[in-house]
């Protein structure tokens, strides 16, 4: 153990000692919030050192956490995530192509590079594709016919994520044509002689539903060839996502998509009741909440067959998801209006998750494209800070803001895959610092919540939520 780590350990020991003194002196009580203020002050004063330590030692340690802590499932308790009954907030990222890169030995190393770099700034969750339907290097070459070498590549992604203490949200198909998605399922159906007229038949045709269910069953029951752990039993997997950005424009009422979500969420849970399930929605408000459509980025958003509140009230869905693309939805010219929209968009969904859904909400994609008119790194950093601060505002009040996943993180040497949103941490130190600082803040907040719970938190406390114990 080097000197910096030793110093970090002394700081943690000192903080624990101060906490115990505060508790013994009864300043850490419901009747007197001075203990909380002192704790928050100490946390802020310690922030720079913790941030430096997290970058130096390759991971963001929760206060008091041990390297050999058991690797347990993420669960939901009330409107928050928990691991081992302790709060868990998400600071994560998207990198959709990991399985495809892992399928080629010449690019497999990039998967490891990515997880290593992500862990260095404290990122703990990655969202990626567990599908590639009928395309180049396909996982599913045709209905229920799989390429074992590509499946072994997905095994590698899951195994490698565990090594770096990163959990995975695995998406099971795509609304868009990339990597096959619903359009490929419709092609398979037509080849089998089905009378299909629209890609949206994916949601309603019983044969295509059967194709999708078969894929779900195959993936969830997959035994990892590297770890010998069945996917449905692996704590490395944070959650299953039914579909990336589902839309059903042929039915603006939302009924067709609603029925599909209801059937598939329950089906996933019937195979795997242990893991969390989410839909993959962008967050557009629909017919069930006419008083909320004002928050949509445009009028078209309420005509794509999705309905944020109604969709997430389905049995089997554990948490809500929202995407944030002001530069696609409002204007591709960068303005402060993007920041204003982002803040109100997030706050509206956090409020709905608390009042109506009573579940966490994760802002599962957000980013700014370098291709936007007026783009600069300073604006991107400001945008990221806006998202992160809005999350923190919720967590500090025990709200439903469960975390966020930036779109998207790339390692060096993969620029040719960049869609304009890629962030290579080594190239953008200011952006890397913002991401790292959010990881530190959320990690410390997890620890504060844990100690408050352990030492006597009560309902009137500002941090109290349904995950805390009323009887302590």
Instruction: Decide: 221 and 215 in contact? Cβ < 8 Å.
Output: no
Query: Which is nearest to 244 in space by CA: 417, 73, 405?
Result: 405
Token pair listed for 28: 């850490």
259 is catalytic: no
User: Chain centroid to CA 252: how far?
Assistant: 27
Short-list 307, 346, 311, CA closest to 325: 346
pLDDT (average), residues 331-355: 97
pLDDT tens digit string along 42-66?
A: 345 444 534 443 443 344 343 333 3
Percent of the chain with pLDDT over 70: 80
Of the candidates 449, 439, 450, 386, the residue with the CA atom closest to the CA atom of residue 125: 439
Distance in angstroms (rounded) separating the CA atoms of residues 48 and 444: 12
Q: pLDDT tens digits, residue range 151-199?
A: 999 999 999 999 999 999 999 999 999 999 999 999 999 999 999 999 9
Give yes or no for residue 444 having a pLDDT over 90: no
Q: Among residues 62, 160, 282, 365, which one is catalytic?
A: 365
Adjacent-strand bridge partners of 74: 83
Question: Packing angle between helix 377-395 and helix 336-352, nearest 10 degrees?
Answer: 20
pLDDT digits (tens, 9 = 90+) for 248-278: 999 999 999 999 999 999 999 999 999 999 9
| Contact by Cβ (8 Å): 102, 154 | yes
Is pLDDT of 112 > 60?
yes
Q: For 296-341, what is each residue's pLDDT tens digit?
A: 999 999 999 999 999 999 999 999 999 999 999 999 999 999 999 9
* Residue 26, pLDDT score: 34
**Per-residue pLDDT for 8 more than 80?**
no
Contacts of 158 (CB under 8 A, 6+ apart): 168, 224, 227, 231, 234, 236, 237
Active-site residue 365, yes or no? Answer: yes
Identified catalytic residue from 62, 160, 241, 245: 245
In the three-class reduction of DSSP (H, G, I as helix; E, B as strand; rest coil), residue 71 is classed as coil
């Amino acid at each position: 153990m080097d000197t910096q780590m030793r110093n970090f350990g002394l700081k943690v020991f000192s903080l624990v000692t101060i906490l115990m003194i505060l508790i013994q002196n009864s300043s850490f009580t419901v009747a007197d919030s001075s203990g909380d203020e002192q704790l928050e002050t100490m946390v802020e004063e310690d922030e720079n050192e913790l941030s430096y330590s997290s970058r130096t030692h390759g991971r963001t340690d929760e206060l008091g956490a041990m390297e050999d802590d058991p690797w347990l499932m993420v669960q939901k308790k009330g409107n928050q995530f928990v691991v081992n009954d302790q709060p868990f907030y998400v600071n994560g990222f998207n990198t959709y192509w990991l399985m495809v890169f892992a399928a080629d030995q010449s690019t497999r190393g990039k998967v490891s590079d990515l997880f290593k770099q992500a862990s260095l700034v404290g990122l703990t969750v990655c969202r990626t594709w567990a599908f590639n339907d009928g395309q180049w290097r396909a996982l599913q070459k045709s209905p229920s016919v799989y390429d074992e070498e590509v499946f072994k590549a997905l095994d590698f992604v899951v195994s490698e994520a565990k090594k770096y203490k990163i959990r995975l949200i695995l998406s099971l198909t795509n609304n868009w044509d990339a990597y096959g998605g619903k359009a490929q399922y419709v092609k398979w159906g037509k080849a089998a002689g089905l009378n299909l007229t629209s890609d949206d038949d994916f949601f309603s045709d019983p044969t295509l539903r059967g194709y999708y269910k078969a894929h779900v069953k195959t993936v969830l029951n997959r035994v990892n060839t590297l770890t010998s752990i069945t996917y449905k039993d692996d704590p490395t997997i944070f959650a299953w996502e039914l579909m990336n950005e589902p839309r059903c424009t042929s039915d603006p009422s939302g009924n067709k998509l609603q029925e599909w979500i209801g059937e598939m969420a329950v089906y996933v849970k019937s195979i795997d009741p242990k893991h969390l399930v989410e839909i993959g929605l962008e967050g557009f408000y629909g017919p069930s909440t006419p008083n909320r459509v004002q928050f949509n980025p445009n009028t078209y958003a309420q005509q794509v067959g999705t309905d944020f509140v109604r969709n997430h009230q389905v049995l089997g869905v554990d948490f809500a998801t929202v995407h944030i693309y002001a530069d696609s939805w409002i204007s591709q010219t960068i303005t402060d209006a993007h920041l204003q929209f982002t803040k109100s968009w997030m706050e509206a969904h956090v409020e709905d998750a608390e009042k109506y859904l009573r579940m966490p909400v994760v802002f599962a994609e957000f980013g700014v494209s370098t291709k936007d008119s007026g783009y600069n790194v300073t604006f991107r950093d400001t945008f990221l800070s806006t998202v992160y601060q809005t999350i923190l505002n919720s967590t500090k009040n025990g709200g439903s803001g469960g975390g966020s996943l930036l779109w998207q993180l790339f390692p060096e040497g993969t620029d040719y895959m960049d869609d304009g949103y890629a962030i290579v941490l080594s190239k953008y130190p200011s952006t890397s610092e913002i991401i790292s600082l959010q990881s530190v803040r959320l990690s410390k907040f997890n620890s504060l919540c844990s100690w408050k719970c352990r030492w006597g938190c009560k309902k009137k406390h500002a941090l109290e939520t349904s995950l805390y114990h009323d009887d302590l």
